[in-house]
Every structure is written in structure tokens, then in C-alpha cells.
Chains A and B, each alone.
Chain A
Amino acid sequence: DAGVIQSPRHEVTEMGQEVTLRCKPISGHNSLFWYRQTMMRGLELLIYFNNNVPIDDSGMPEDRFSAKMPNASFSTLKIQPSEPRDSAVYFCASSFELADNEQFFGPGTRLTVL
């Protein structure tokens, strides 16, 4: 099993540019989570989906952030326009069911906005 796959692993962009982070959950998993980790704020849940439907997006910081899950095997997190304060490591995680006690995390995407 390949685990949760995230791309790119590293992204460096300039302020104002659009950034798209991608995630492929583990096959058969119905729930997908997007987290952000910074030194200042730690690990924060941004949004999560169940059966491709967004359940809770209260952690999304502002309208510049949007997430989609067009099908069970793919999700994107988009930042437009990006700002230096968006620099962080973004993790995607999946679980078999929403109520599952174990979430499987991907390796993360390290985003640097200059």
C-alpha cells in the first residue's frame, strides 16, 4: 500500500501567486483531512471531507483558501493569492470512515511563499 500521497513535496512561490496542493488518499478510505503545521500555531485542521463532501471547513483561515474533492481518489487545497504567512507544512490525512480512530497522514508539502 502506497499510503497517502501528496504533491509536490516542496513548493516555493512568490507572494500573490496561486498555489495548488494535491492529495491522493489511501484507496478505499472515505474521509480526507487537510492540516497545516507552523511553529507558531502547531498542527491545525483546516477542512475535512466525508464521501467527497466537505463536512467542516471552519478551520480554513480565509477566503483565499479553498479545497475540493472531485472524486474519492483526489483532493486539492488551493491558495489564491498566496501570502508569506501561508508558509507552512500542509498535511493530508485519510481514514476508512469518519468515525475511524486512526488517521493516516501523508508526508506533507512544505510551502514557502516569498
Chain B
Amino acid sequence: DAKTTQPNSMESNEEEPVHLPCNHSTISGTDYIHWYRQLPSQGPEYVIHGLTSNVNNRMASLAIAEDRKSSTLILHRATLRDAAVYYCILRDSTFGSGGSNYKLTFGKGTLLTVNP
């Protein structure tokens, strides 16, 4: 499985933008980049995903490098409720042997602390 590398922790101030980096130098052409987050004492929550182009949704933006070896999750204005562990995950989009490629493999993620 292709691996991702994220900083263990990051800190931000409320109302400021946050840029969460992710390196995935061994990404394959069929890997989608997914971001999930896990708030304290809750299950993970989908944030955003992309393949090649930058993506925006109501929660965040995803900036993908041209060579796809890295990406950045952008929270435009951090709030206290954004304090969570953020996971960057690569997911193979090819359908192989009955669907066994559709796994989400979570790493350690980045613990984001938001200061008031």
C-alpha cells in the first residue's frame, strides 16, 4: 500500500487559516487522496478527497501538487471545533479481485490543536 507522511502535530489560532501537509511520494496513478478527521471521542469523519485537481467543499480545500507527491488540506478559518486528528489516506480506485482494493488504511495522522 502507498504510504503517507504527516506531521505528528500542528497548532493554530482560532479564525486563522490552517495548512495541513501530507507527503505521498509513492502514490500511483489510480490512488485517490482522502482526508478524514476524528474529533475527540468520536468516529472518523470524511472531509474531502481528490485525484489531480484542487477541490473545495464546505468543510475545507484540498490542494494537490502537480506531481501528486504531496497535498495540503486547507481549513480557511479554524474554529475550536476543528481540533481533531486529521488523516491523509491514499485509496486505490481500481476494482480488483472482488473489491479488495477499496480499503482505507489510516496512519497516525496530525493532531491539530486550535488555540482560542
Contact = CB atoms under 8 A, between A and B. Distances in A.
B66 to A, nearest CB: 22
A104 B47 CA distance: 11
Interface in B65-82: none
Contacts, number: 54
Given A42-B106, A42-B107, A103-B46, A56 B100 contact: yes
Contacts of B45: 105
A105 B45 CA distance: 7
B76 to A, nearest CB: 21
A100 B106 CA distance: 17
Interface residues of A, number: 24
Interface of A: 4, 31, 33, 35, 42-45, 48, 50, 55-56, 91, 93, 98-99, 101-108
Contact of B46 (A56, A91, A102): A102
Interface class of chain A by DSSP: strand
Interface residues on B, range: 20 to 34
Interface of B: 32, 34, 38, 42-46, 49, 87, 91, 93, 95, 98-100, 102-108
Q: Which 9 pairs of residues, A with B, have the shortest CB-CB distance? A: A105-B43, A43-B106, A102-B46, A56-B100, A101-B49, A98-B99, A55-B99, A91-B43, A98-B102
